[in-house]
Structure 1
Amino acid sequence: MARSVNFSWNFVNGLSQCSIKELGLHSQTLQRTPGEYVTHRKQFKKARLNWRKSGGACRFEL
């Protein structure tokens, strides 16, 4: 389990380092986003939330 946690930590860390420069977001925004995601998952009692859409049907897929 520790390896899985480390992998997910490193994945998010690497993604945030690349994204913060390209998206022009403040670091606090990237820190709060996962917390908001978890809050909304609990609020709506869902394992996965719908994709956030902005500007059309194109989505970023991992």
Structure 2
Amino acid sequence: MHLSMLQAPLTFLILPNQEALYLIYSISNIMYCSFISLNASIYDYGPTKPTYDDRESK
């Protein structure tokens, strides 16, 4: 791996400007929300979830 490939994102992260911080925050926020929705979808549509008829009969 070239050093210039690593240098560009590193200098971008080191720069204390507002846009970089906001970009990092928004990217981490999007990843966090997608992770939560992925977990919710796995939990909702997993094999252990009872069907609507099972919940209705109880």
Provide TM-score, normalisation by structure 2. 0.39
Structure 1 or 2: more helix by fraction? 2
Q: Which of these two proteins has the greater Rg computed from alpha carbons? A: 2
